A and B are shown apart, each in its own frame.
Chain A
Amino acid sequence: MPEQEVLMAVERLDKWFPVRKMGRARGYVKAVNDVSLQIRRGETLGIVGESGCGKTTLGRAMIRLTDVTDGRVVFDGQDITHLSEKELRPLRRDMQIIFQDPYSSLNPRMTVGDIISEPLVFQNMYTPAERIERVRELMDLCGLDPIYIRRYPHEFSGGQRQRIGIARAIAVNPKFVLCDEPVSALDVSIQSQVINLLMDLQSRTGIAYAFISHNLNVVYHVSRRIAVLYLGRVVELADREDFKTNRAHPYTKALFEAIPQVGFDEQQKRAPLTGDLPSPVDLPDGCVFHTRCPYTQPRCRTEVPELREIDRGHFVACHLV
């Protein structure tokens, strides 16, 4: 992929959290392990996985809301892995985040106008009068009537609150927005409104998204490429079409078959994956998936499979592919 096209690159990223007992570190929760991926300008990379797969931590590490244990994060050609909070401040204009919970993500004591204009205030953009104009414009863009600029968040429904959160994120014209489960808390009929809004904004402004979700249907719909995470590792990374026709990793296959689809076809009757996720403190040796994989070989128990390119742009971490 040409260098200038890449907006966000994560290289061999590790993020471990120490587990403390009696004040001493007794091991680590290995939330993200050796993850490498790239997001191009204006594209959407979907990141899917089940709870505890490290997708949220990975997202937070990308925009440096958390420190990185090892590896590199390169944003727009600049290595931001070890920048301090202060050094990151000007870069925050270019990377933003949309949260899952439309309730806890808006300060209940601030008006909608203050919430949306906050990034503009922190980034010292525009004069106060221009900011109000900009907020009105953003509200209109996100499907909110600007006359509600002085209302408080609790007066809005979940879907409208999510629109407020989106308006806040795009206020500074970012190049990259991390969407962390942006529709999971919303009703089905509201989800599609918000997804369409996000996609419209992208086609209008060329924002790149990292779209994190456990909902495969949604990720599949919005993404150009998808990364599947399992226990902190990328097990498969490919264009969206490959996930429809050409799933390679056994976990990806199981995951896609497990989604209940509306309609009545027989392929849904496949046996579900057995067992639970192993604890991230005590990861299995070898391939992380071998404890649940139906095709486990002796080799899988000892050797960690590398993420290999099996086809153009199609990466899989499995010994059997």
Chain B
Amino acid sequence: MSIKANANVQDAAYTSFYHDAFVRLKKDKVAIACLVFIVLLILVAIFAPLIAPYEEGYQDTSAILEGPSSKHWLGTDEFGRDILTRIIYGSRISLSVGLIAEAIAVTIGVFLGALAGYYGGKIDAVISRIIEVFASFPHILFAIVIMFVLGTGVINVFLAIGFVGWTGIARIIRAQVMQLKEKEFVEAARASGGSDLKIILRHLIPNCLSTIIVVVTMAIPSDIMYEASLSFLGLGVQPPVSSWGEMISMARKYLRTNPTYSVFPGIALVLTVLAFNLLGDALRDALDPKLKNL
């Protein structure tokens, strides 16, 4: 009996949900290009000292504000620092802002969203109001206020952006948990004596995972932009640490004398943001076709 009943399973190759999603993702050429770009970017950030043509902070006093040349591929800034080197080191800040700030946002968002969605009632009402209060401020303004309070510095940039960005994911997780908790497998877990915490951790959050992945990929570029904006406004990363936003901010003064100074960090920023956004789109289609309207 059992052999017969399982005949169809045998036909199908062993696949997990994420394997299927990856197969779908592989068909999307743009997504793969973006993925390759992001992986390369991460490698560049990790191995910056090996890749960069000059040491961080090296000043070539013979070449101030020069355009691209064989010595300095992307030119130099007002202190004679190599722009390519600074962009490479700047990718460290941009990526870690994306990852760490988003990790903070996801932790807060998933936790509060799951609580609100699972318990409903008063807990939901309170958390939902908090979300609304946070979401009603313009994000960048809110981040500026936090930076004023905390002071400038890399860690504070992470915190400020993380605190600003959790509301979106909290809302999505709340809605998804509300749907999921009606499913019979949640009831089955309750009927077997599972505690609320175990149900949330074993059943609800894993089923939100694909949503979380998609939301995170889509949120990273805006985090990178916030960091760039904060640094551009002089509230983020402080010189001599280089970040793309800070570079664009400094280059503003030399727009006439050396326009490429601002263009190259700008291109790096745009390409990175674009890559994450396109990958996010593709992941959404691959992981969860239902999220089409996200």
Contacts and interface: CB of A to CB of B under 8 A. Distances in A.
Interface of A: 63, 65, 85, 88-90, 92-93, 95-97, 99-101, 104-110, 115, 118-119, 122-123, 139-140, 143-145, 148, 151-152, 154-157, 159-160, 163, 165, 168, 172, 193
A108 B17 contact: yes
B9 A65 contact: no
Contacts of B206: 107, 109-110
A134 B10 CA distance: 23
A155 B185 contact: no
A145 B192 contact: no
Contact of A156 (B9, B188, B207): B9
A310 B171 CA distance: 58
Contacts of B268: none
19 contacts: A89-B193, A92-B192, A95-B191, A97-B187, A104-B184, A107-B206, A107-B207, A108-B17, A108-B207, A109-B207, A119-B193, A144-B6, A145-B3, A152-B15, A152-B17, A154-B17, A160-B6, A163-B5, A193-B5
Interface in B174-199: 183-185, 187-195, 198
Given A93-B193, A145-B2, A148-B6, 10 more contacts: A101-B184, A105-B185, A105-B188, A108-B17, A109-B206, A118-B189, A152-B17, A160-B5, A160-B6, A168-B188
A122 B6 contact: no
Contacts of B2: 139-140, 143-145
B8 interface: yes
Interface string B99-126: 0000000000000000000000000000
B14 A96 contact: no
B15 A155 contact: yes
Given A97-B187, A99-B184, A101-B184, A144 B192 contact: no
A248 B158 CA distance: 74
Nearest to B207: A109
A118 B6 contact: no
B139 interface: no
A99 B187 contact: yes
A305 B109 CA distance: 55
9 tightest A-B CB contacts, nearest first: A119-B192, A92-B193, A105-B184, A89-B193, A99-B184, A107-B185, A145-B6, A122-B193, A109-B206
Nearest to B196: A85
Nearest to B205: A109
A5 B6 CA distance: 39
B187 to A, nearest CB: 6
Nearest to A180: B184
B158 to A, nearest CB: 30
Interface size class of chain B, counting residues whose CB lies under 8 Å from the partner chain:
20 to 34
B8 A88 contact: no
B130 interface: no
B209 interface: yes
Among B8, B188, B206, chain A packs the most CB atoms within 10 A around the CB of B188
Contacts of A90: 193
Nearest to B1: A143
A92 B6 contact: no
Given A99-B184, A122-B193, A122-B198, A151 B1 contact: no
A86 to B, nearest CB: 8
B12 interface: yes
Contacts of A156: 9
B122 to A, nearest CB: 13
Given A104-B185, A143-B1, A155 B9 contact: yes
Contacts of A193: 5
A97 B207 contact: no
Contacts of A140: 2
Contact of B12 (A85, A88, A155, A172): A155
A172 B192 contact: yes
Contacts of A99: 184, 187-188
Nearest to B192: A119
A123 B188 contact: no
A97 B192 CA distance: 9
A122 B5 contact: no
Q: Which of B2, B14, B185 has the most CB of A within 10 A?
A: B185
B183 A104 contact: yes
Given A99-B184, A107-B203, A88 B193 contact: yes
Contact of B188 (A97, A143, A145, A160): A97
A163 B9 CA distance: 14
Contact of A151 (B14, B194, B209): B14
Contacts of A123: 192-193
Contacts of A151: 9, 14
Contacts of A97: 187-188, 191
Contacts of B190: 65, 85
A48 to B, nearest CB: 21
B16 interface: yes
Nearest to A157: B8
A63 B191 contact: yes
A152 B192 contact: no
Contacts of A106: 185
B191 A96 contact: yes
